[in-house]
Structure 1
Amino acid sequence: MRHVRPSPVFLAIVAVCAASGWYAWRDDGSTETAARTAVFLMVMSGWLVSLCLHEFAHAFAALRSGDEGVVGKGYLTLDPLKYSDPLLSFILPTVFVLLGGIPLSGGAVYLDRSAIRGRARNSVVSAVGPLTNAVIAIVLALLLGSGAVDGASPTFLAAFSFLIQLQVIAAVLNLLPVPGLDGYGVLEPWLPYGFRKAVAPYAPYAILFLFALLWSPSVNRVFYDVIDQITNALDVSPFLADQGYRLFRFWS
């Protein structure tokens, strides 16, 4: 834990989330443009915080399993600028959220897998990322259901519900056994070396193919039916989350 020092960049993102959330909480409906901008900032900054925590979880689990190189790389500072692949870690996931509310994150910190002790630990290192998103979704859902946000405006509740839904989607998607995602990373240590070597060059394209597949109306409908069942189980209204998504897209 002595290596964990949240960076000023991460703390600034948290501050933006808190400030925009405070504005959305107090929204009285008098200024729609300002309210929708606040929702956009609250959701995007909240999503970026979860991305930092997702990647931090990978790095921290790797450190505990033998990869001490993550300390020197700055992964334990939660600074998004320190991650080795900003394209996979932040740019693509942000674009996916903006275009379709589809949060794809995962596995873009560069770890020394050879230093991690055993196949089981390698699987755990991959699994902790999406499990972090699942834990965030559960914690936020508990806050929503406990009355902790009673008194907030409908605008805030919609944005908060959408943020929970994003965490659920991220957890489900990242656990799929698709090369380049954490679900495949869980299985990879147990697969034959020849298969892993053959698949590796196509991992980035597999993620893009998955994103394109989710644009198919039939696939999208089935996928979001599953997501709605999970959000319902968490006692989060899919309708309210959809309202949050509509507010989030302030440009539409």
Structure 2
Amino acid sequence: MRPSPVFLAIVAVCVASGWYAWHDDGTSEPATRTSVFLLVMSGWLVSLCLHEFAHAFAALRSGDHSVVGKGYLTLDPLKYSDPLLSFILPTVFVLLGGIPLSGGAVYLDRGAIRGRARNSLVSAVGPLTNAVLAGVLALLLSSGVVDGASATFVAAFSFLIQLQVIAAVLNLLPVPGLDGYGVLEPWLPFEFRRAIAPYAPYAILFLFALLWSPSVNHYFYDVVDHITDALDVSPYLANDGYRLFRFWS
């Protein structure tokens, strides 16, 4: 369970870019946007690693000891079984539309996990990790810990919190391929699970196609804004962080 050098390197990038953004004086817009981009992306990758670690650790405690040999407990993103679903697609979606997605990264021996309730818990702990991260980061923001930081840092930090909220909400949706479906799957009839299994890889793509629809996108982000508002995080600051994050626009 020792953190891998790769994970520690990502954390180092997050700390270094966060330090620069904290002290940003706004004199160089390219430097400002680059620091925000690196802070948000590295922070997001750290949360992805923690999300998948939560799945693996819960599986280990529930009877699946195969996660030890696979290296899932080292927080090494290179050990995950599906880098396309784990990091490439989530990163692309964050870059294109600020829509994060976690999940599908670790291969678990579901047969070794004891009982349906434990199987559901193993799926649930991923998005719950994002929810806890959102709460902790929001608490840091509202408690005055970041009062001495620049406006650049606060905006980037707010956007990072918003990403955690979006990830938690998205992953709890009962869509095949997402953790929300994994929570329900052990309780569904076998015939139903077998019937929809061939279509599961396309369900996520269909979901994201829906999110590009203006009406669905507006409703979804209304929900996200209500949650971030309840966490005492300004959606306007988060949007400003997203604007700075997109350094190419």
Q: TM-score range by the shorter chain?
A: over 0.9
Q: Is the 8 A contact 2:82 2:104 kept in 1?
A: no
2:50 match: 53
2:171 match: 174
2:149 match: 152
What's the TM-score once normalised by structure 1's chain length?
0.98
1-structure distance, mates of 2:171, 2:143: 28
1-structure distance, mates of 2:43, 2:191: 40
1:139 match: 136
2-structure distance, mates of 1:11, 1:134: 22
Helix, strand or coil at the partner of 2:92:
helix
1:30-41 superposed matches below 5 A? 30-41=27-38
Greater than 3 Å deviation, 4+ residue runs: none
What is the Cα deviation at residue 199 of structure 1?
Answer: 1.4
What is the Cα deviation at residue 107 of structure 1?
Answer: 3.2
1:189 match: 186
Q: What 5-or-longer segments of structure 1 have no aligned partner?
A: none
CA deviation vs aligned residue, 1:34-82 (integer Å, no higher than 9, x gap): 0100000000000000000000000000000000000000000000000
2:101 match: 104
1-structure distance, mates of 2:96, 2:199: 23
1:208 match: 205
2:70 match: 73
1-structure distance, mates of 2:246, 2:166: 18
Instruction: Identify which of 3, 9, 14 aligns with 1:17.
Output: 14
Q: Tell me which amino acid in the other structure corresponds to 1:101.
A: G
Corresponding pairs, count: 249
2-structure distance, mates of 1:115, 1:202: 25
Q: Is the 8 A contact 1:107 1:126 kept in 2?
A: no
Q: Is the 8 A contact 1:58 1:107 kept in 2?
A: no
What is the Cα deviation at residue 235 of structure 1?
Answer: 0.1
1:115 match: 112
What's the TM-score once normalised by structure 2's chain length?
0.99
2-structure distance, mates of 1:33, 1:200: 46
Two-structure CA RMSD over aligned residues (Å): 0.5
Q: Is the 8 A contact 1:141 1:236 kept in 2?
A: yes
2:232 match: 235
Q: Tell me which amino acid in the other structure corresponds to 1:110.
A: Y
What is the Cα deviation at residue 108 of structure 1?
Answer: 2.3
1-structure distance, mates of 2:177, 2:144: 39
Identity over aligned pairs, percent: 88
Q: What 5-or-longer segments of structure 2 have no aligned partner?
A: none
1-structure distance, mates of 2:193, 2:92: 28
